[in-house]
């Protein structure tokens, strides 16, 4: 069952439970209405018995009774309308979720019907390995993935390698596993939903249209003035982000669900963390160019392309720090927001959403500065999960330096995806250690299309640094010569 199906099923159960509770409340209101009708009937009988001989006390008592009946009628009517509206809303949500569930199930059914079976003959005579391919839309959770025949065959092949003795075999992962791996990576990569992700093949080129020139006012019979219209271009390559994890072979003898979850979870965390770091602090050397290095650059860096937009120095306008250590309280945020508020959507994109990246402790500091007392005397913060005043989603990242805030219009960061995720394995690398090695590989490039769309601020008197974050050391290639080494991948 796909993850979305599980969520929908769980939500449907919650809504059905909520509907049952509301129907029970509605039944009690109906009982109140029946009691009210009996009271109204008695009042009507009392009115028929009322005549000129009735005393003033009897008339006053009757009027009081009528007023109470009217008030009770309004109260019950309001309760009936509120309950009916809530029940109707719940039923509408249930119908929408049921329709979505039917759509997902129908799509999954079609995906199963369209799958093709590819048979590859290995170098060993007479031995064949079967590999199934599914459409990319089909996603399953790890437990349900392992129940599929093609995934079971993939996992069984891994357990049988030792007895078959095939040298350096790389198993082709069933495509049904790839969307799940990609989805896990997007889950661990908190910044991917905010940036502009584009799939590329080979070298990608992003044309950038500059701002429109201003036309010239002239006399009626005057000549036209020539206007300048500029087109810039960013070139995207593809850098590899990868790593491997050794898994003890006894794990491979555990349940299929545990194995799949272990491999996907570890590789997902590793690649997702590296990608988020690169989006914010990437050096441009065998990795994407980060937002912070672009902001702090006072002069055109080496990775600035020949046809890129005209370089603008943003190191003072869009980057700031606290004016003095003596500044405290709300004045800290006032100074920060004056700089962070300078972000502007220079180029039109489909998504103009704003994000602000910071560590958990930094976000707590911002909340503390906005604390106040409500009418009940309780301490509350003036923010939820969005930045006060400026707006925009707050993204907490463990690797962010404390007291540093970075963010802006995420749609203006272009993340080029060169290749889809590949999952590889080898049982010979650590044969004597009785371990099987799994490797996760992806290729990306990225850069801010417009630095003006981003800003950074230090909540201390220490300036924002473009090298404050340390990347994992490429120790495996430390003594090798890489022809692509350098920061000029433009």
pLDDT in tens, 312-323: 899 999 999 999
Instruction: Output the CA–CA distances (angstroms, integers) from residue 8 to 18, 70, 154, 177, in the order listed.
Output: 15, 44, 29, 21
Question: Residue ranges of the chain with pLDDT lower than 50?
Answer: 1, 114-141, 161-179, 372-380, 483-490
Backbone φ and ψ for 209, nearest 5 degrees, come out as: -90, 125
* pLDDT score of 374: 42
How far is Cα 285 from Cα 489, in angstroms, rounded to an integer? 8
Own/partner pairs, 17-23, CB within 8 angstroms, 24+ separation: 18/90, 19/87, 19/90, 19/91, 19/94, 22/83, 22/86, 22/87, 22/90, 23/87
Give the C-alpha separation, 181 to 219, whole Å. Answer: 65
pLDDT at 449: 83
Query: Do residues 140 and 148 touch, judged by C-beta distance below 8 A?
Result: yes
Residue whose C-alpha is closest to residue 150's, from 194, 98, 111, 95: 111
Strands (E), 303-412: 319-321, 354-358, 371-373, 379-381, 393-396, 404-409
If phi over 0 gives left and psi between -120 and 50 gives alpha, with beta otherwise, what is residue 432? Answer: alpha
Q: What is the pLDDT of residues 437-479, one digit of tens each?
A: 877 888 888 888 888 999 999 999 999 999 999 898 888 887 6
Which of 12, 9, 256, 2 lies closest to 111 in space, CA to CA? 2
How many Å apart are CA 179 and CA 2, to the nearest integer?
Answer: 11
3 state SS for 294-322: HHHCCCCCCCCCCCCCCCCCCCCCCEEEC
Q: What is the pLDDT of residue 112?
A: 55
Give, in order, the Cα–Cα distances in Å from 459 to each of 210, 266, 334, 344, 391.
Answer: 34, 34, 11, 21, 18
**Edge-to-edge strand list for the sheet holding 393-396:** 319-321, 454-458, 404-409, 354-358, 393-396
Task: Give residue 404's pLDDT.
Answer: 96
Tokens 């007291």 correspond to what residue?
403
Across 164-287, where does the E strand assignment appear?
Answer: 196-199, 204-209, 231-236, 239-248
Q: Is 184 helix (H, G, I), strand (E, B) or coil?
A: helix
Asked if 204 and 198 count as a contact pair (C-beta separation under 8 A), the reply is yes
pLDDT (0 to 100) of residue 45: 82
Q: pTM score, two decimals?
A: 0.58
Per-residue pLDDT, 436: 79
């Amino acid at each position: 069952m796909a993850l979305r199906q599980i969520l929908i099923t769980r939500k449907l159960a919650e809504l059905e439970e909520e509907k049952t509770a509301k129907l029970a409340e509605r039944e009690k209101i109906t009982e109140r209405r029946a009691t009210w009708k009996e009271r109204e009937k008695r009042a009507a009988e009392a009115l028929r018995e009322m005549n000129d001989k009735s005393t003033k006390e009897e008339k006053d008592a009757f009027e009081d009774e009528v007023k109470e009946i009217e008030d009770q009628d309004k109260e019950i009517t309001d309760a009936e309308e509120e309950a009916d509206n809530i029940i109707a809303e719940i039923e509408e949500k249930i119908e929408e979720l049921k329709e979505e569930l039917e759509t997902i199930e129908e799509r999954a059914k079609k995906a199963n019907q369209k799958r093709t079976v590819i048979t590859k003959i290995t170098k060993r005579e007479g031995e064949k390995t079967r590999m199934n391919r599914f459409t990319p839309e089909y996603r399953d959770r790890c437990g349900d993935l392992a129940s599929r025949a093609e995934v079971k065959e993939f996992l069984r092949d891994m357990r049988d390698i030792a007895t078959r003795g095939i040298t350096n075999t790389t198993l082709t992962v069933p495509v049904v596993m790839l969307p799940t791996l990609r989805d896990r990576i997007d889950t661990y990569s908190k910044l991917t939903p905010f940036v502009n992700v584009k799939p590329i093949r080979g070298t990608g080129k992003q044309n950038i249209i500059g701002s429109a020139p201003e036309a010239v006012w002239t006399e009626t019979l005057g000549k036209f003035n020539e206007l300048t219209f500029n087109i810039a271009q960013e070139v995207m390559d593809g850098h590899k982000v990868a790593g491997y994890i050794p898994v003890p072979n006894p794990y491979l003898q555990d349940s299929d669900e545990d194995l799949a979850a272990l491999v996907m979870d570890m590789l997902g965390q590793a690649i997702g963390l590296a990608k988020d770091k690169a989006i914010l602090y990437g050096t441009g050397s065998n990795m994407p160019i980060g937002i912070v290095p672009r902001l702090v650059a006072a002069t055109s860096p080496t990775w600035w392309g020949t046809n890129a937009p005209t370089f603008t120095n943003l190191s003072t306008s869009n980057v700031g720090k606290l004016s003095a250590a003596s500044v405290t309280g709300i004045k800290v945020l006032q100074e920060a927001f004056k700089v962070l508020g300078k972000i502007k959507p220079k180029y039109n994109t489909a998504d103009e959403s704003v994000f602000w990246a910071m560590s958990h402790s930094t976000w707590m500091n911002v909340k503390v500065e906005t604390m106040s007392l409500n009418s009940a005397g309780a301490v509350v913060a003036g923010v939820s999960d969005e930045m006060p005043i400026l707006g925009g989603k707050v993204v907490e990242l463990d690797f962010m330096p404390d007291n540093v805030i970075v963010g802006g219009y995420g749609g203006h960061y272009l993340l080029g995806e060169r290749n889809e995720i590949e999952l590889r394995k080898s049982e010979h690398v650590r044969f004597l250690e009785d371990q099987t090695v799994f490797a996760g590989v992806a290729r990306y490039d990225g850069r801010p299309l417009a630095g003006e769309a981003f800003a950074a601020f230090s909540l201390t008197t220490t300036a924002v640094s473009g090298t404050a974050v340390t990347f994992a050391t490429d120790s495996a290639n430390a003594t090798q010569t890489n022809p692509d080494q350098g920061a000029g991948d433009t």
